[in-house]
């Protein structure tokens, strides 16, 4: 996939950069694998706003993507690669030998007509899924389970992957993109390859209207509010606040560690790299 730029006929097209999706499926998704999706618009069950600056957006339908890959020892053929509005990477529709269909996350370099399989001791090929114990060290993988049988949780967004850096007894050492190294049960499933649409990070939406299509409402900076509305508010003219940056409710916004899960600390071998300031 390549990037699309536009001639500056308007102020919005001057800065717009989008991903060219001309090679993707242009029809509708498979009806049996689609369900209705209701937008919460940032509200909870009482109708109160719990996530600000969210509402509207284009109507979407949810594609039932299979993150479990439990259909073992049955080969499937990639029928088409589709755009999914609910995630940043692309998805692929596969047809099994028994005639059933499923949606999987589409890795890079997968082509229409390729055959893929799930199960133990399968060929190390892009799109195949197998337990971590059957995958060699150094291979790029995605859609990794944290617990066996719980479905893929790690490395599911566009252009991402993790690698196996070693073996420790019944555990595999997984190196994340952030630099963190974590132990995961070697019976957990993972899929070979790097996920599709790596150019997602280069998109520039170009105009506020495109944000509204995505369900994002305008965001007001704290420094332009009054003191009653935000800790950064108040002051004469354009003042920056003169204090450490915090959220609307006072929580530190720069570098505060909020992780509090001591139960799984034992599985983290090395913490993620610190950002350079």
Say what the pLDDT of residue 243 is: 78
Say what the pLDDT of residue 276 is: 60
Q: Cα(first)–Cα(last) distance of the chain, in Å?
A: 33
Say what the pLDDT of residue 241 is: 66
Counting Cβ atoms within 10 Å, is residue 105 exposed (0-12), middle (13-18) or buried (19+)? Answer: buried
DSSP per-residue string spanning 101-168: EEEEEPBTT--TT-EE-BSTT----TT-EEEGGGSPTT-EEESEESSTTS-EEES-STT--EEEEEEE
Residues 6+ apart with CB under 8 A from 272: 176, 178, 179, 180
pLDDT in tens, 113-163: 999 999 999 999 999 999 999 999 999 999 999 999 999 999 999 999 999
Residues of the chain scoring pLDDT < 70: 1, 241, 275-277
What's 3-39+56-200's CATH class? mainly beta
Say what the pLDDT of residue 237 is: 86
Cβ–Cβ contacts within 10 Å for residue 263, how many? 7
Where in the chain are the domains? 3-39+56-200
Residues 6+ apart with CB under 8 A from 114: 77, 78, 126, 127
Cβ–Cβ contacts within 10 Å for residue 137, how many? 11
Say what the pLDDT of residue 275 is: 64
Report in angstroms the alpha-carbon separations of 44 from 35, 39, 86, 171, 213. 21, 11, 20, 39, 21
What residue spans of the chain are helical by DSSP H? 11-15, 208-213
Say what the pLDDT of residue 84 is: 97
Q: State pTM to two decimals.
A: 0.90
């Amino acid at each position: 996939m390549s990037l699309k730029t536009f001639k500056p006929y308007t102020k919005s097209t001057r800065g717009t950069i989008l991903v060219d999706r001309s090679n993707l499926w242009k029809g509708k998704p498979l009806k049996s694998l689609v369900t209705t999706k209701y937008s919460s618009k940032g509200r909870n069950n009482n109708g109160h706003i719990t996530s600000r600056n969210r509402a509207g957006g284009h109507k979407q339908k949810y594609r039932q993507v299979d993150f479990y890959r439990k259909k073992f020892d049955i080969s499937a053929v990639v029928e088409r690669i589709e755009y999914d509005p609910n995630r940043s990477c692309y998805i692929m529709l596969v047809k099994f030998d028994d005639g059933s269909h499923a949606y999987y996350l589409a890795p890079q370099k997968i082509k229409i007509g390729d055959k893929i399989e799930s199960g133990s001791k399968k060929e190390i090929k892009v799109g195949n899924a197998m337990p971590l114990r059957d995958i060699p060290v150094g291979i790029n993988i995605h859609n990794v389970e944290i617990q066996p049988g719980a479905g893929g949780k790690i490395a599911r967004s566009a252009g991402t992957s993790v690698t196996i850096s070693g073996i420790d007894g019944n555990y595999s050492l997984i190196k994340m993109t952030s630099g963190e190294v974590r132990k995961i049960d070697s019976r957990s499933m993972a899929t070979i390859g790097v996920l599709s649409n790596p150019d997602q990070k280069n998109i520039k939406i170009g105009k506020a209207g495109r944000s509204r299509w995505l369900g994002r409402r305008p965001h007001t900076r704290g420094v332009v509010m009054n003191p009653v509305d935000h800790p950064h508010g108040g002051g004469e003219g354009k003042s920056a606040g003169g204090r450490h940056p915090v959220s609307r409710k006072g929580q530190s916004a720069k570098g505060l560690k909020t992780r509090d899960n001591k139960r799984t600390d034992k599985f983290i071998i090395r913490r993620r790299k610190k950002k350079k300031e």
